[in-house]
């Protein structure tokens, strides 16, 4: 039964890793990581509110 616990833990770790990897490449601003969203905004890894590009030091495209 111990192997089931180890297998479940490995599956959980893989799920967390895959979710984090799917966020894409973060933009760093003042020591924080902001991940790009499909609508052009940015969001922290834990969710929360969305940030406009101008809020994280990026110039809005023309």
| Chain segment 6-25, per-residue pLDDT in tens | 999 999 999 999 988 888 89
Q: Give the pLDDT of residue 61.
A: 60
- C-alpha to C-alpha distances, 4 to 9, 10, 14, 45, nearest whole angstrom: 9, 10, 15, 30
Q: Write 26-31 long-range contacts (CB < 8 A, 24+).
A: 27/56, 27/58, 29/56, 29/57, 29/58, 30/57
Q: Is the overall model pTM greater than 0.75, yes or no?
A: no
Express as a percent the part of the chain with pLDDT over 70: 95
């Amino acid at each position: 039964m111990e192997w089931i616990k180890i297998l479940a833990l490995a599956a959980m770790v893989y799920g967390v890793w895959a979710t984090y990897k799917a966020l894409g490449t973060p933009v760093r601003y003042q020591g924080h990581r902001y991940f790009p969203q499909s609508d052009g905004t940015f969001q922290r890894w834990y969710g929360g509110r969305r940030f406009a590009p101008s809020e994280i030091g990026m110039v809005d495209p023309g």
